[in-house]
A and B are shown apart, each in its own frame.
Chain A
Amino acid sequence: MLENFSFRTIVEYLPLFGQGLITTVWLSALSFVGALAVGIVLSAMHLQRGWLFRVPAKAYIDAVRATPLLAQLYFLYFGLPRLGFILPELVVGILALSLNSGAYVAEIIRAGILSIPRGHAEAGVASGMTYVQRMRLVILPQAFKVTIPPLLGQAIVLVKDSALLSLISVAELTRAGQLLASDRFMPAEGFITIAAFYLMLYYCLKGLAALSGRWLGLAGART
């Protein structure tokens, strides 16, 4: 059985996998930055007391969380051109990942902000700080620390989700596996290799999470 497993072909295709890996890394990174931007705006909207911002933010987050990423991706890829927006696959892919992950990031940030005891905000209020000052000086620096680990968890999810972009012919890592599978009919080789690369990325991000956790533990004093 294993004699059929062609390591040679894997080596032969390594440059292709390398390119796919690089694409996966940078498009994930870019999407994560986009997700952070979307998440910050959404969480700020969701935290407002008035319904004008809160309700649309909540509706958006629910809509994203309730529907499959693949459906969202197809909507953007096939649906938008019908509505007159024609964008390159890569842009659509990054947009889809940012908009999707942004909803989850929003909830992480919101939870982080809500985890800060009310008393800290009250102390800020009592000393005459404005809302913006309280956020900037008291709440966000603390919330930032608690959100780092779950945000890195979300980054790991995002990297794996980026595999779906292979379905709209973005030449990322999973696409490289598909090519090997279809060119040479070697799905085992193709997909085990990309799995190894994803595992590698996972450990990189996990290492980063552990590192940041240790750094935050040292730098910040908790109550």
Chain B
Amino acid sequence: MIEFRGVNKWFGALNVLKDITLSVEPGEVVVVCGPSGSGKSTLIRCINGLETIRDGDLVVDGRRLGDPATNMTLLRAEIGFVFQSFNLYPHKTALENVTLAPIHVRKIQRAEAEKAGRELLAKVGLADKVNAYPAQLSGGQQQRVAIARCLGMRPKIMLFDEPTSALDPEMISEVLDVMVAVAEEGMTMMVVTHEMGFARKVAQRVVFMDAGAIVESGTPEEFFSDPKTDRSRAFLSKILRH
């Protein structure tokens, strides 16, 4: 579904992605973790072309990025992206946020899109917030709308860029519950997060990155109980101490 082969990326002189090789199968849930600045966000932002790669191959849903034959707009419609800062459209209600892209990108009839949108908002537990504007919602609620907004496009892949990092602790679980439900439906997911409970529960694989490179990759069980490298041991001891 997603395949990185020898991918490199630079920001100026900084090698932010170093020779990344990684393959994600359909239906697989991969958690990406690592210290700040290790390139996790950049890694998943490359998948839908929010960042471009300098060399190597990146094939998503059978289409090679950077290939002139690949229509990025069409590809992006198949990939949901959940941002750390939600990025809801503040001038649109929750329902309008969910239906905007289906109506204009997928060309679905408004009535049909609204029906699907209401169902999705109900699914993320916000049936009563259909007509609320983002500013009237809590962070956790906004992030759930953002997830519903992605699901409205019926994506093949969902990418999450630290979806709970901007939330108050008490709102984290409501968002994670929704993500677990999405994962259990068989969605292919890549999730940048430090929520190790989430990783244990639904991830098939944990990828640990440091300084732009994948340092370690394994099942959550292996990774948490028996980290192979000093770097990952040091990282885990820091985030699991509290």
Contacts and interface: CB of A to CB of B under 8 A. Distances in A.
A221 B135 contact: yes
Given A122-B83, A127-B105, A128-B101, A221 B90 contact: yes
A129 B97 CA distance: 13
B77 interface: yes
Contacts of A221: 90-91, 133-136
A126 B89 contact: no
A28 to B, nearest CB: 30
Contacts of A88: none
Nearest to B81: A126
A41 interface: no
A137 B100 contact: yes
A4 interface: no
Contacts of A127: 76-77, 80-81, 100-101, 105, 149-150, 153
Interface in B87-110: 87-91, 100-101, 104-105
Interface string B130-161: 00011110000000001001100100000000
B73 interface: yes
Contacts of B193: none
A117 to B, nearest CB: 8
Contacts of A128: 73-78, 101, 105, 153
A141 B96 CA distance: 14
B85 interface: yes
A220 B91 contact: yes
Nearest to B74: A128
A134 to B, nearest CB: 10
Contact of A142 (B78, B79, B91): B91
Interface in B163-189: none
Interface residues of B, number: 31
A129 B48 CA distance: 13
B48 A126 contact: yes
A68 interface: no
A119 B90 contact: no
Contacts of A67: none
A223 B50 CA distance: 23
Contact of A125 (B76, B78, B90, B153): B76
A133 B87 CA distance: 16
A116 to B, nearest CB: 9
A87 interface: no
Contacts of A129: 73, 101, 104-105
A214 interface: no
Contacts of A126: 48, 50, 76, 79-81
A126 to B, nearest CB: 4
A117 B87 CA distance: 9
A123 interface: yes
Given A133-B104, A221-B133, A123 B90 contact: no
Interface string A96-133: 00000000000000000000010110111111111001
10 contacts: A117-B87, A122-B50, A123-B89, A126-B80, A127-B81, A128-B77, A128-B105, A129-B105, A130-B73, A145-B91
Interface of A: 117, 119-120, 122-130, 133, 137-138, 141-142, 145, 220-223
Given A126-B79, A127-B81, 5 more contacts: A122-B87, A129-B105, A133-B105, A220-B91, A221-B136
